[in-house]
Structure 1
């Protein structure tokens, strides 16, 4: 990306979580965490699945909402997580889980299904779940302990842009403690700034195994993965 982006070190660089700093050409903005969201009027957090393998329990048949991997980047990343964690057994494990899934057309629909009671739980992004939780939905979130993904999204300067000085001011603002607190408290995003607490009610990331998912090429590429995914879900 060096031909597109202009490296810039934000004023708060020394306060950023180094585990999310991947490339000098862009700055990690927030950590995107994948969770199991649960309708707590239907299933208590104590009784809900705690691992990916728990999702395959037949008692959850027709109760787990998931976006389609051929229509959602987050659903594809969830699939990659299973394949990364379980290696050669990954496809067999996912096939068993998928027997319990209700597939939605978009990742944004998953928390709506859960909040409306169309599914008792579902795989979604943490901030999507907190949008409903903060709106009063009877919902909680679980980090699946055998493999949780927390990936950074980013902000950057475009190389040769018309207003680089203004861009630097914006990046400094975006990564300031006050802005990162706003993102955590109002939007439910995990801050990259180390002096900012997680969103209220968010579970502790240190209690689970964080996974760096393998790229799609490691599993044969996008088309091969999607073909195997369609077979796994019975299409």
Structure 2
């Protein structure tokens, strides 16, 4: 196996300063010998396949194995694999940004900075180059427009405690979804556990993923969504589903979703080619346009009709503060809402 480009990158990273690592002819030659990249991701499978298709088209000698699951399941899988000395994952994307802090602490990540990341705001990339925010989303509320009149629709979290919504709400679970976990942390910080205790008495339909809750209200299974991916709501809206996004008046959780390469990646050069590809303006625009995600790339434009981030009251994520509280959040939440 040709590993020179990977080995050289590792040696140059000793200084601990991020620098741009271009996709070179030598890297591509080594990657072609490896044949593929294994990608663990929490992005909706439709979006993941759009990215994978574009990658295969641009690099015909390389394949990408898409392994999609909720962020907390991705974390659990990697932990179990590494405990058994199984190194299967090359590149990882999770909507629980605290995962990357943990993996970096464990020295499981490889330093690599895609050239486009050099232009990202500092708060959205690791200063030593171990990870960067590949995509972002908002954890939004929403409702079915055929079943709820706009004048009656909830405008914020506290509205969901109205008895009229009992048995009509759907919500994701922080034990499965990184977006849900990040959103739960933000809600608890803002409104406290007392709020979630009251909400749990509203007969909430509990689903796993924030990719599933938009589909629930689109189908009419439930009429109001407590939380769900903004990008999945955009996908439903583009598909003419009868749904509308609500940005809660108390504030909307902003969820960063980084990407990184594992140090024990079995396909290290293909991993670097893929990581560079993910952060290009072309792919960042593709996921924003077709997948509804938010991008931190300065060249990416939101599609027409979408509310600019600057017009939304945001609740920023705080992965460093959330990390030591994750087990307690999952335990307390499950005690209220079940598995």
What is the TM-score with the length of structure 2 in the denominator? 0.59
Contact 1:56–1:98 under 8 Å retained in 2: no
Q: Report how far residue 25 of structure 1 moved.
A: 0.4
Contact 1:58–1:100 under 8 Å retained in 2: yes
Q: Report how far residue 104 of structure 1 moved.
A: 2.9
Q: Which residue of 2 aligns with 1:97?
A: 199
**Local SS of the residue matching 2:245:** strand
Alignment of 1:4 with 2:111, yes or no, is no
Q: Which structure would you say has the larger RCO, counting Cα contacts within 8 Å and 6 or more residues apart?
A: 1
Q: Which residue of 1 aligns with 2:120?
A: 16
Q: Which residue of 2 aligns with 1:215?
A: 322
Distance 1:204 1:55, change over 3 A: farther
2:232 corresponds to which of 122, 125, 128: 128
CA–CA distance in structure 2, aligned partners of residues 45 and 81 of structure 1: 26
CA–CA distance in structure 2, aligned partners of residues 15 and 184 of structure 1: 18
CA offsets 1:132-175 (integer angstroms, 9 cap, x no match) = 22222111212223232222222223325465444333222211
Alignment of 1:54 with 2:159, yes or no, is yes
CA–CA distance in structure 2, aligned partners of residues 129 and 101 of structure 1: 23
Contact 1:66–1:104 under 8 Å retained in 2: yes
Q: Report how far residue 110 of structure 1 moved.
A: 1.5
Unmatched runs of 5 consecutive residues or more in structure 1 = none
Q: Which has the greater radius of gyration? A: 2
CA–CA distance in structure 2, aligned partners of residues 119 and 129 of structure 1: 15
Q: Aligned runs of 1:81-96 on 2, under 5 Å? A: 81-86=186-191, 90-96=192-198
Q: Report how far residue 5 of structure 1 moved.
A: 1.9
Distance 1:101 1:17, change over 3 A: farther
Moved more, 146-155 or 14-23: 14-23
Alignment of 1:112 with 2:215, yes or no, is yes
**Local SS of the residue matching 1:215:** helix
Contact 2:170–2:224 under 8 Å retained in 1: yes
Q: Report how far residue 182 of structure 1 moved.
A: 0.4
CA offsets 1:185-213 (integer angstroms, 9 cap, x no match) = 11111112122123554333222032325
Q: Which residue of 1 aligns with 2:68?
A: none
Distance 1:229 1:170, change over 3 A: closer
CA RMSD of superposed structures (Å): 2.8
How many pairs are equivalent? 229
Unmatched runs of 5 consecutive residues or more in structure 2 = 1-103
CA–CA distance in structure 2, aligned partners of residues 165 and 77 of structure 1: 32
CA–CA distance in structure 1, aligned partners of residues 151 and 122 of structure 2: 33
Moved more, 132-141 or 147-156: 147-156
CA–CA distance in structure 2, aligned partners of residues 197 and 101 of structure 1: 40
What is the TM-score with the length of structure 1 in the denominator? 0.82
Q: Report how far residue 29 of structure 1 moved.
A: 0.5
Q: Which residue of 2 aligns with 1:156?
A: 260
CA–CA distance in structure 2, aligned partners of residues 19 and 7 of structure 1: 17
**Local SS of the residue matching 2:314:** coil
Q: Aligned runs of 1:149-228 on 2, under 5 Å? A: 149-159=253-263, 161=265, 164-206=268-310, 207-213=312-318, 214-215=321-322, 217-218=324-325, 222=327, 224-228=328-332
CA–CA distance in structure 1, aligned partners of residues 115 and 205 of structure 2: 43
